Chain A
Amino acid sequence: MVVDGIGASVKRKEDLRFLSGRGNYVDDMNRPGQTFAHFLRSDVPHGKINKVDISAALKMPGVVAIFTGDDFTGVGGIPCGWQIHSKDGSPMVEPRHPVLAAGKVRHVGDPIAMVVAETKQQAKDAAEAIVLDIETLPAVAGMTAALAAGAPLVHDEAAGNVCFDWHIGDKAAVEAGFAKAHKVVRLDLVNNRLVPNAMEPRAAIGDYDVSSGEYTLYTTSQNPHVIRLLMGAFVLSIPEHKLRVVAPDVGGGFGSKIFHYAEEAALTWAAGKVKRPIKWTADRTEAFITDAHGRDHISTAELALDSEGNFLALKVNTQANMGAYLSTFAPSVPTYLSATLLAGVYKTPAIYAEVKAVFTNTVPVDAYRGAGRPEATFLVERIVDVAAREMNMDKVEIRKKNFIPKEAFPYQTPIALQYDSGDYMATFDGCLKAADYAGFEARRKASAAKGKLRGIGISTYVEACGIAPSAVAGALGARAGLYEVANIRVHPTGSVTVFTGAHSHGQGHETTFAQLVSEQLGVPHDMIDIVHGDTGKVPFGMGTYGSRSLSVGGSAMVKAMDKIIDKGKKIAAHLMEADVHDIEFKDGKFSVVGTDKAKTFGEIALTAYVPHNYPIEELEPGLEETAFYDPKNFTYPGGCHIAEVEIDPDTGTVGMVSFTAVDDIGRVINPMIVEGQVQGGIAQGIGQALLEHAIYDESGQLLSGSMMDYTMPRADDIPNISVGTEVTLCTHNPLGSKGVGEVGAIGSPPAVINAVVDALRDYGVRHVDMPATPAKIWALIDAYQPKMAAE
């Protein structure tokens, strides 16, 4: 019997080093002979570089070298990994993204020069001595300004600042739905721009070994193989066998550490020039103006309903901010990761969406926890709530009436996706019960007696993750495969090392994956090590994002272990002189069916490496297998989140009273870790709904550019979070798991805003854009003019 296998809340292996200060993050590492880099960055949003004078800076103490954009003329640009085509069939406008700014700077934070010096402080001091002659150009910070006639252009080749103008769905069917509608509900929504703010700022060390000609990049990445591919093949022309990328312990990612950043290429390239390691660590201010931001969509949604409240059609028009350059996966976020989710959990028969992607003089925008799915969910769940109110229907009833029933799976939506499994009524009813929805009116009255406005908000969601079937993703514009890789190395004494292409930056893979291996091979948890984050050790991999580690990476492990077991059976059959078809593997033992003859996993492993009595003619020695797993479909976690808030009408302050989630994420390996993932995602969702906002002024300066200005959720902003699960299994991967990393951030923002609007029901408030700050709420309450009795 496996005690630390699937379903056990095993305490985490990685905790001991993190709790005792022995983690190994990039900034903790130092290489012999190391130098330090500092990047001089643009402080203007848009400008023409007339001259970068480094002559005085070169004479500063400790300076080793200074590089500017001109030094990178023979080097490729930072590539984009996803190509979208516009309605007219033309490919998106894809301007060159130079490693260091060439000719122009396009956002505050755009790197202009890299100073390499003996110490960090010397590099900073020397950067101050660089003399810049930059002619400031008119800039566009917001999408409305960027799309206005005659607006300044971020890139000359992108007319009207449009990157692409894309659509999906059956427009005629939607028009027909609207033509027969009893009621059309229209809502304008802003999905606020966010800064991911993983607690560990990005850091990297470029290293070059003169004798072998091998480059090594140590970097804070969620996907070191992807960085090797993008940087090696597209930017620096270094073949894979001469380029190693190491992502050791990484202090949170949330999407922001997926992307290939200019600093990684600059440091690697320059290490080859100065022939010494070069280390760079972002400070938080630098993170705010260089890490890819998230969200930033402006949408108009229209929902057509019949007189019974059945949804007939949904029409959405979205503008999505790309920032100044196309980040690695940016074009996929508002399109295939968002618009395709507009059906949500509902059987809306016709959907049509248009997305215009816009360049602005701001930091690039890309995937942030949920990536597109929170935007779609916010839109759908807000308009459903508005529709319920305007149809005089109960918000529970309107949802139940429109849910895709559990008998309908596999369910083909009208916009590309086919959901394999789910039971939305089960998560919905489970969450209503767990949140004591029935008892809410009494709690509202109790709050009212204290002078507080209490509201309850429901959100349901489905998301598409487990990214992704390569052929499908390729047809939609992905420029890479999205399989995952596992190598399982069984050692002679039966211990196991697993090399996975997935990357752990908080998810607890070293524990969860060991549970998976323990379950399947019957090897004790402490005899299993998980290795990740090093292209020099792991054969290949696509990394961790899109809640894919278990459903895709774990499935690759299952496949590799199947091969191990198959080979083990052949060895066992030989040792026990039985037919291989009569060998059964269970609980760590190979036995001959119907007899008491058995060999332990360890005995088979030893035989594989000491093949004295071995079918050497038919079978190679050794016990190590590699598998690539390419998923057959996306996975579709779904569920229900309920938020309860209390507003102080005197101050507009929104207090989170409680938060309840019931999610269907398929099979759960470690319930403790799952609960933590959901709670963390919900805290980020509450942050988006109530606190966080990356604000640019009209000129393109980031106003909320530090943790003093950008409101991060703190312990007293977040309530206790109740997490439950209902399970329907994923039907197309061997684990039945769907993914959990993003569900919290996807389901929670509309639940919070629905609760805020519910609390303000007596103040004529129809919608509140995020974040619902005290100033915004107070102004709504203050502006309310009660209708007189005469009306």
Chain B
Amino acid sequence: MPQISLTVNGKPVSATVEARTLLVELLRDKLHLTGTHVGCDTSQCGACTVQVDGMSVKSCTMLAVQAEGASVLTIEGLVNADGSLHPMQAMFREHHALQCGYCTPGMVMSAIDLVETHPEGLSEEQIRHGLEGNLCRCTGYHNIVKAIAAAWPLMHNKALPVAAE
């Protein structure tokens, strides 16, 4: 069986996996990082979203062996060493953007990618479109959209530009 080495949440890890093992299975079953969830078999729901080398990736669509040498960030790695929350996590709480919590880790990881890749600003329409790959069955998205808009200024250290109509 293949042996792989990678960095997860800043720590080097090695594991022996089957060739068919998915990245999400490595994270959950071998590394016991159960914050990353599996919600579907078809890459539709986004509950398993993590960052691989700075890009958001559905970890159910990537083989563990493909992460050889990569740096993976999961929801567990977002919390600062002093226990304080990432601005996106904090805004999700502030705006009641989660209910059952199951889609939340993937939603937060996608939302961070969305904000990071849009330094020029984000309209509500862009946020809604940007969440296409993440399903939430509880919130109706209203508060998730609000939370992301509220996190943008905190992550970019400036006011969110008002979209030109």
Residues of A bordering B, CB below 8 Å = 11-12, 14-23, 25, 27-28, 121, 197-201, 249-252, 254, 283-285, 505-508, 672-673, 675-677, 679-684, 706-708, 712-716, 718, 720-721, 744
B155 at the interface (CB under 8 A from A): no
Residue ID in chain A nearest B74 by CB atoms: A21
Chain B 101-120, CB within 8 Å of chain A: the 1/0 string? 11111001000000000000
When A12-B96, A715-B145 are in contact, do A19 and B137 touch as well, CB less than 8 Å? no
Complexed CA–CA distance, A49 and B79 (Å): 53
Whether A22 lies near B39 (C-beta < 8 A) is: no
Which of B34, B135, B140, B144 has the most chain A CB atoms closer than 10 A to its own CB? B140
Other-chain contact of B102, A22, A200, A706, A744 (Cβ < 8 Å): A200
Whether A251 lies near B143 (C-beta < 8 A) is: no
A-B contact pairs, 27 of them (CB 8 A): A14-B101, A15-B98, A19-B93, A25-B34, A25-B102, A27-B34, A121-B20, A198-B100, A199-B37, A199-B47, A199-B100, A199-B135, A200-B100, A200-B102, A252-B138, A505-B100, A677-B99, A679-B139, A680-B99, A714-B135, A715-B134, A716-B125, A716-B131, A718-B128, A718-B140, A718-B141, A720-B145
Whether A508 lies near B99 (C-beta < 8 A) is: yes
Residue ID in chain A nearest B85 by CB atoms: A19
Residue ID in chain B nearest A710 by CB atoms: B44
In the assembled complex, the CB of A235 is this many whole angstroms from the nearest CB of chain B, namely: 28
In the assembled complex, the CB of B105 is this many whole angstroms from the nearest CB of chain A, namely: 5
Residue ID in chain B nearest A253 by CB atoms: B100
Whether B93 lies near A683 (C-beta < 8 A) is: no
Residues of B bordering A, CB below 8 Å = 18, 20, 28, 33-42, 44-45, 47, 74-76, 78-79, 85, 89, 92-94, 96, 98-105, 108, 124-125, 127-129, 131-132, 134-145
Chain B contacts for A707, CB-based, 8 A:
40, 42, 44-45, 135
With A20-B85, A706-B40, A707-B44 given, name 9 new contacts (CB 8 A). Answer: A16-B85, A23-B34, A201-B39, A251-B102, A252-B137, A714-B135, A715-B128, A715-B141, A715-B144
Whether B37 lies near A18 (C-beta < 8 A) is: no
Other-chain contact of A252, B74, B102, B144 (Cβ < 8 Å): B102
Whether B99 lies near A676 (C-beta < 8 A) is: yes
In the assembled complex, the CB of B89 is this many whole angstroms from the nearest CB of chain A, namely: 4
Chain B contacts for A677, CB-based, 8 A:
99
Complexed CA–CA distance, A467 and B48 (Å): 36
Whether B93 lies near A714 (C-beta < 8 A) is: no
Complexed CA–CA distance, A22 and B34 (Å): 7
Whether B45 lies near A249 (C-beta < 8 A) is: no
Whether A21 lies near B34 (C-beta < 8 A) is: yes
When A506-B99, A706-B42 are in contact, do A682 and B108 touch as well, CB less than 8 Å? no
DSSP majority for the B interface?
loop
Chain A contacts for B41, CB-based, 8 A:
283-285, 706
When A200-B100, A252-B102, A284-B42 are in contact, do A20 and B138 touch as well, CB less than 8 Å? no
Whether B99 lies near A200 (C-beta < 8 A) is: no
Chain A contacts for B137, CB-based, 8 A:
197-199, 252, 254, 680, 684, 712
Complexed CA–CA distance, A683 and B143 (Å): 12
Whether B35 lies near A718 (C-beta < 8 A) is: no
Whether A680 lies near B94 (C-beta < 8 A) is: no
Complexed CA–CA distance, A285 and B44 (Å): 12
Residue ID in chain A nearest B132 by CB atoms: A714
Other-chain contact of B138, A19, A506, A708 (Cβ < 8 Å): A506
In the assembled complex, the CB of A366 is this many whole angstroms from the nearest CB of chain B, namely: 17
Residue ID in chain B nearest A675 by CB atoms: B96
Whether A20 lies near B76 (C-beta < 8 A) is: yes
Whether A23 lies near B99 (C-beta < 8 A) is: no
Complexed CA–CA distance, A716 and B47 (Å): 18
Whether B140 lies near A679 (C-beta < 8 A) is: yes
In the assembled complex, the CB of B45 is this many whole angstroms from the nearest CB of chain A, namely: 6
Chain B contacts for A714, CB-based, 8 A:
131-132, 135, 141
Complexed CA–CA distance, A680 and B143 (Å): 10
When A199-B45, A199-B103 are in contact, do A20 and B35 touch as well, CB less than 8 Å? yes
Other-chain contact of A18, B39, B40, B104, B142 (Cβ < 8 Å): B104
Complexed CA–CA distance, A207 and B134 (Å): 34
Whether B75 lies near A20 (C-beta < 8 A) is: yes
Chain B contacts for A708, CB-based, 8 A:
42, 44
Whether A199 lies near B89 (C-beta < 8 A) is: no
When A21-B33, A707-B40 are in contact, do A506 and B128 touch as well, CB less than 8 Å? no
Whether A251 lies near B33 (C-beta < 8 A) is: no
Other-chain contact of B39, A15, A199, A254 (Cβ < 8 Å): A199
Whether B94 lies near A712 (C-beta < 8 A) is: no
Whether A716 lies near B98 (C-beta < 8 A) is: no
Whether B135 lies near A676 (C-beta < 8 A) is: no
Complexed CA–CA distance, A701 and B93 (Å): 42
Complexed CA–CA distance, A718 and B142 (Å): 8
Other-chain contact of A679, B79, B124, B142 (Cβ < 8 Å): B142
In the assembled complex, the CB of A695 is this many whole angstroms from the nearest CB of chain B, namely: 17
Other-chain contact of B93, A16, A198, A505, A675 (Cβ < 8 Å): A16
Residue ID in chain A nearest B141 by CB atoms: A715
Residue ID in chain B nearest A249 by CB atoms: B101
Whether A19 lies near B98 (C-beta < 8 A) is: yes
When A199-B45, A716-B129 are in contact, do A19 and B92 touch as well, CB less than 8 Å? yes
Chain B contacts for A252, CB-based, 8 A:
99-100, 102, 137-138
Chain A contacts for B143, CB-based, 8 A:
676, 679
Complexed CA–CA distance, A416 and B44 (Å): 44
Complexed CA–CA distance, A758 and B41 (Å): 39
In the assembled complex, the CB of A254 is this many whole angstroms from the nearest CB of chain B, namely: 7
Complexed CA–CA distance, A286 and B144 (Å): 28
When A673-B96, A680-B140 are in contact, do A19 and B37 touch as well, CB less than 8 Å? no
Whether B138 lies near A21 (C-beta < 8 A) is: no
Other-chain contact of A23, B96, B101, B134 (Cβ < 8 Å): B101
Chain A contacts for B100, CB-based, 8 A:
198-200, 249-252, 505-506
When A16-B93, A708-B42 are in contact, do A23 and B141 touch as well, CB less than 8 Å? no
Whether B104 lies near A19 (C-beta < 8 A) is: yes
Chain B contacts for A250, CB-based, 8 A:
100
